Structure 1
Amino acid sequence: MFVDVVDLRNFYAQPLGIVARRLVGRGIRARRNGPRGERIVGIGYTTPYMGLFREDAERCLAFMPASQGVMKWPSNRPGLAALVDESELPLTDSAVDRVLLVHALEMADDPVRLLREVWRVLAANGRLIAVVPNRRGLWARIDTTPFGHGRPYSRSQITRILRETSFVPNGWGEALFVPPVQRNWFLRSAGVWERFGPSVLGPFAGVHIVEATKQAYRAIAVKRERRVLVPRLEPALAPSAGGAAREGGSLTCASMTGASGEGTTGERATDQ
């Protein structure tokens, strides 16, 4: 279930939310290696991070799920945000070059269906950047932040669901090593936490930041016909039309040869 858009806005207006925006934005910027003039769509609550793309993009849209709610964005320009059904995006096939998912994958009722829809609207070799809470991190265990809601993922689980939906992960990053403490004096040390976190607290980051490429040629399941094996009986020797048939049985070759040999010997003895 998606967090309400008002709660998301209020979180990013607080000191802890401002720090989270800066640290997560730094990780997204590290994955921002595409050309200028891209068509970019953010799904979930991506407006705190869309400014990283808006100046260089040809078109930049923010799609907010219906169960979350929508807010005007940007505030001082014509609106670029829309309320959508995340499983049926109002875009044609291969319409955008890059998709950003924030507060989306872990909140979706059907994450596989969401990723399949993202695959549909991405152009060939389009890129996906997803910010997903780490199930080992402190941020996923405390529900006072949006990262503590929904379904957190491990790196192996993210890899599995991306491959299931025909994406190839090709870049990883982590952010939010600083504990989610609402104290201004503690938040001043956030830069130190982020600097030494990857080497000291690597598996316990707050979020994963994964970049994946759309696999243009998906594997198609082949329906195999089930073969039914029909047993067959071995052929039996048919009885001869002679005495074996009158006796109602069949004689083997050996018995027939033996009987024939005895009769011949008896006849020769009689003749002698």
Structure 2
Amino acid sequence: MTTEVHGLLGFYRSPGGAVAARLVRDRLAALWPMLPGQALLGIGHAAPYLDLWQREAERCIALTPAHGTLAPWPPATAEGQARSASLLAEEEALPFADSSFDRVLLVHGLEAAEHARRMLREVWRVLRDDGRLIVVVPNRLGIWAQLERTPFGHGQPYSAGQLSRLLARHLFRERQREAALFLPPIGLRILSPIATPCEVFGRAILPRLAGVVLLEAEKDLLAAMPAGAPAKRRRVVMPAQASPA
């Protein structure tokens, strides 16, 4: 990771971080309401969100880049611990076989990746043929990307259009978008009572000014298939005429 994501564990343990996590979780739950029997991989710092699906998932893995700090996950009281695990590994060389997962959640990962192209190539590899990906990134147009007091203020922010085009270049087809964190990243604990109405209002009126962009995409197998060799034009070669005696 080229950019150290500062204070991830401390942020999510703080009251303000808990508010932010709740608002992002609401949007993730809207995109993926249930994942029964699915194999789920979280990359970056996905631990605050994976328990949305942990009980019903077939297995649930939280992968932290090798340079990061391993989050304590799964929670000690979580059901289905035998099917859950956390590990440190290189995001550019995921330690999984091809087509290992049905879903991948990438949060606090893409914006700090040293080689985004390699990471997305690995995500495409480990996803099954009908697999889906959710990427959560700081919104380039939002205030959260401008202030370094939260982890969303570090790394490379993206607009929704930039993120969609990036994924398309790496063989993912966009399915749907969401937006979250319309509150300013200041005084979140105090603003918590009005957080939900602000989110509803922001998504309806000013979706481009959200703090984070959430984009769901699916593995695009057709884009990976070669178009085939171009048809060859037939050349007709006329026999040489004999010169007159």
TM-score of the superposition, structure 2-length normalised? 0.85
**Aligned-partner residue type, residue 82 of structure 1:** L
**Aligned-partner residue type, residue 208 of structure 1:** V
Other structure's SS at 1:144 match: coil
- Which residue is equivalent to 1:120? 125
Pick from 184, 188, 203: which aligns with 1:179? 184
- 4+ aligned runs moved over 3 Å, structure 1: 2-5, 219-224
Could you say if the C-alpha distance between residues 91 and 19 of structure 1 is closer, same or farther in structure 2, counting changes exceeding 3 Å?
same
- Conserved in 1, the CA contact under 8 Å of 2:107 and 2:135? yes
Mean Cα deviation higher: 81-90 or 11-20: 11-20
TM-score of the superposition, structure 1-length normalised? 0.77
Structure 1's unaligned 5+ residue stretches are 225-272
What are the equivalent positions in structure 2 for 1:106-255 lying under 5 Å apart? 106-182=111-187, 184-217=189-222, 218-220=224-226
The reply to whether residue 94 of structure 1 matches residue 99 of structure 2 is yes
Specify the structure having the higher radius of gyration (Cα): 1
- Which residue is equivalent to 2:4? 3
**Aligned-partner residue type, residue 104 of structure 1:** G
CA distance in 1, matches of 2:14, 2:58: 31
- Which residue is equivalent to 2:86? 81
CA distance in 2, matches of 1:69, 1:221: 43
- Conserved in 2, the CA contact under 8 Å of 1:2 and 1:67? no
Task: For residue 67 of structure 1, report the CA deviation from its aligned partner.
Answer: 1.5
- Conserved in 1, the CA contact under 8 Å of 2:133 and 2:216? yes
Mean Cα deviation higher: 116-125 or 191-200: 191-200
Structure 2's unaligned 5+ residue stretches are 231-245
CA distance in 2, matches of 1:150, 1:175: 18
**Aligned-partner residue type, residue 11 of structure 1:** F
